[in-house]
Structure 1
């Protein structure tokens, strides 16, 4: 649909400004053009031909129409974000007195969770038996992330003094500098011992970090992400491997096995129980079994 000059020309000036002065990427520009074109076409169909006539009610109508067009919440949020940026430009340019999109909230987006690995996939991923120091380090990191449910930032932040190997617990500094102690046993404990035996082979000087790179300093988040993705490919795991997926798998498997939401909350270091409820997902069959077994009014009488 061709737009009247009163709608088209301000858009041309906006993109010229954003590209030349703000360094807008071509990808973002393409997305914003698509969203603002859709907004302008809606206004034309509604017989609005000047951006200055758009108030917050019109912005809400634009969002409502996007919802009727079955756009996902993320796409509606992007449309509103493009409108806010455009109207900010119009205010800055003196063409409008206020931004009508400022007070219009985007629809809530459901939290997207990664698909967790099942136990067989975990076994497949963690059957790394190479004996070079980097491979031993990588398996120790993966075993520890899955064995203790650590965040990536928590893993790379670990120092030697934070780990009590024989006792089987780790002092972790989580979000908001909150400290917690988490247990680790079994394979995680075994492979951490293996790593500590070869760690000195990578040292170049004093370094307190538990996990170090081949250069001898604290390993970076990007390196951990890259190495885990590579191991996923080497071990022929069907889904992409990343640190968060190992933490999510830990949480899911722990909750499915124990049903103890509070304990899993503590292990994950969540301040709010609702975060754990969203982060983990029990299938309905498991929930139904727990309910039938635990609720007094749900138990079937003998003989029924």
Structure 2
């Protein structure tokens, strides 16, 4: 009968267990043909680890292999499996990971040692920095599937990120979402009127009219070509985007297709001013731009910068800022002369032109399906949320107007 080994407290040691000279405990086992070791200063804790090892072995969980794999590895593996991912989307995912996740301690921790509290602490930190809960969703949409892939590969038993984002969202955590800014009808008219009458900014009128009058996303608008415009049927075909991104380490313009099927659409030209601007631009574009731009088979791009090259969202946002400053300065002087309050333009970006168009559309019709199709919203709830918000805002304004005129008794 083999001799029973004991520790320095007289407790029996099981096969594979040893007490080391410093008083700590070691358990040796085999993974394939290789010996593996786990350590602990407490015998009960060591045996708890042994139990986990035995359970994982019985269930096919590859815990010890996973000790050499970190979350960053799983993210790279996940990206390698996304063979249908657009280059621009891939670049965006990799930017988000490198910018926010890659250097976090848990991202370089062995997979079995990542805890739910690590993910919760990380998400909470981002929210405290001012992340909106919807922005956090973009991070969660990378972390969760990376860990889910580790579960599928039997490296870990369960996904430590499961339910973390959902619980934070349910609690209403994070900064409140920024209020969407839509220009009022007066502001919209003042903005366009000022541009049309300005010797310095009048060349921006076509693109501003098209953005405000169609609700296209900026990348859809800047990518618009002559072939996309059907003035006979008063429609515009939205089928590609022109974006400026860093892809494979190189910054530049790229053509991409819409992210969802609903993004590819034919939209009606609802404002006659849009048709007028497009017709005038098409008639003179050969003289304006003697050299055609070609990218991925697309040519005849309608909107260019001052050198005749592609127009970017950054170019348009800078123009909006300069135009708004110039308009507000002129309006303040005029208001002072006329002894009235100035009607100033708020600070806004090119995306707010899309929201302004959507607001006018919601004010004009309650056909939600039509609004969704024109806007290219993939999710019906997105359109419904915007419509509900706008109608509630209008109801408040109307209530303020009429409540002072009502007399009950």
TM over 0.5: yes
Matched residue, 1:260? 367
Compared with structure 1, are the counterparts of its residues 181 and 63 closer, same or farther at alpha carbon in structure 2 (3 Å cutoff)? closer
Q: Normalising to structure 2: TM-score of the pair?
A: 0.46
Distance (Å, rounded) in 1 between the aligned partners of 2:375 and 2:227 = 21
Q: 2:353 aligns with which of 235, 246, 259?
A: 246
Question: 1: distance between equivalents of 2:355 and 2:367?
Answer: 16
What is aligned with 1:156? Answer: 222
Structure-1 separation of matches of 2:132 and 2:198: 45
CA RMSD in angstroms comes to 4.8
Structure 1 segment 6-45 matched on structure 2, within 5 A: none
Work out which structure has the larger RCO, using CA pairs closer than 8 Å and 6 or more positions apart in sequence: 1
- Structure 1 residue 111: Cα displacement: 5.2
Structure showing the higher helix proportion among its residues: 1
Q: Distance in 2 between matches of 1:71 and 1:197?
A: 50
Partner of 2:310: 218
Q: Which runs of 5+ in 2 are unaligned?
A: 1-98, 106-112, 148-155, 241-257, 294-299, 329-343, 397-409
Size of the aligned set, in residue pairs, is 239
Alpha carbons 2:265, 2:373 under 8 Å: kept: no
TM-superposed deviation, 1:149: 0.9
CA distance in 2, matches of 1:241, 1:74: 19
Q: Structure 1 residue 139: deviation in Å?
A: 1.0
2:249 matched to 1:183?
A: no
- Name structure 1 gaps, 5 residues minimum: 1-27, 30-34, 37-53, 89-96, 289-304
Q: Take 2:359 and 2:373, find their aligned partners in 1: how far apart are those partners?
A: 14
Quote the offset at 1:195 in angstroms: 3.2
Give the C-alpha shift of residue 250 in structure 1.
Answer: 0.8
TM-score between the two structures when normalised by the length of structure 1: 0.59
Task: After TM superposition, list the pairs within 5 Å mapping 1:1-304 onto structure 2.
Answer: 56=115, 58-59=117-118, 74=132, 102-103=161-162, 105-106=164-165, 107-108=168-169, 112-127=178-193, 128-130=195-197, 135-173=201-239, 175=258, 176=260, 178-207=264-293, 208-236=300-328, 237-280=344-387, 281-284=389-392
The structure where strand makes up a greater share of residues is 2
Does the 8 Å contact 2:119/2:161 carry over to 1?
no
Measured in 2, the distance between the counterparts of 1:255 and 1:148 equals 13
